[in-house]
Amino acid sequence: MPADTRGASARMGCFNAFTAVEADHLSATILDGLALARQIQSEVAQDVAGFTQSTGVVPCLTAVLVGDDPGSEVYVRNKREACRKLSIDGRVERLPATTSLDELLVLVERLNADPRVHGILVQLPLPPSVDAARVLEAVNPAKDVDCFHPENVGRLVQGRPRFLPCTPHGIRRLLARHSIETAGRRVVILGRSDIVGKPLANMLVARGPGGDATVTVCHTRTRNVEEITRQADILVAAMGRPRLVTAAMVKPGAVVIDVGMNRTEAGLCGDVDFEAVRDVAGMITPVPGGVGPLTVAMLMVNTLAAARLQQP
């Protein structure tokens, strides 16, 4: 799927803006992911209306929710509400925490075979007794709108994706819509998860718009992390550790993307010490209101794409 880009002239303007930010970084520009997500959803709503009018088909996303994890309940509710606003058929299959692997695989196979279901989302985490890898691999790759199936991961690595993973895709859209150039820039990603770190690294090193970056992925075994992060033109924090990124870890004028969503006694916070880092960074995403809403928006994009792919 092509990145959202504004062309060569905009990219040159972005480079000039980037260097200007480096010279004057008294307070970072806030990258409003919520506003962008609303814009993307408005665009998707128009596309859904046109698709349904021309085909008579309503795109359908079915979420599979096992157990009663409070965080998962919130995520699924938000996704279903997004479906409702965009006239996508949002369904939820709820199963008790005692559900066995075999029972879950039977449900997935039923959804695979249902032509009315275009996207399948298995909400993670699954109960410890269930092999999540087996479940994700059972989803039809053409309906795998989270891009977790090995086939879709392989296609992403090869540079010919069927879908782009939702959170990394949202990050790339955020960079593109703010004319933040990636080509030739040094990107450091904190975290090597299959959901964010690894796929985002693959997307940013790919040839073409939204890629061509020089990417370093840091993790729990990385030495001298602060020395590495201070070299980053774009720093992405995706570790799930509250306020781990301090001002001392950030290059003046850098773009800081905070993927973290941590619930603490003091409330919701990201992986970045926002108040301290905003005085060093050139641009920064807030938590909440940054990357999170974009993840849901890109899921809607993938659901419509899946419905289109499945048309005879």
Q: Which residue out of 89, 123, 233, 271 is catalytically annotated?
A: 123
Q: Which residue out of 144, 146, 233, 258 is catalytically annotated?
A: 146
Instruction: Give catalytic status of residue 46 as yes or no.
Output: no
Say if residues 90 and 84 touch (Cβ distance below 8 Å).
Answer: yes
State how beta strands 262-264 and 255-258 pair.
unpaired
Instruction: Give catalytic status of residue 102 as yes or no.
Output: no
Instruction: Give catalytic status of residue 41 as yes or no.
Output: no
Q: Which residue out of 41, 79, 144, 251 is catalytically annotated?
A: 79
Say if residues 170 and 204 touch (Cβ distance below 8 Å).
Answer: no
Annotated active-site positions, please? 79, 123, 146
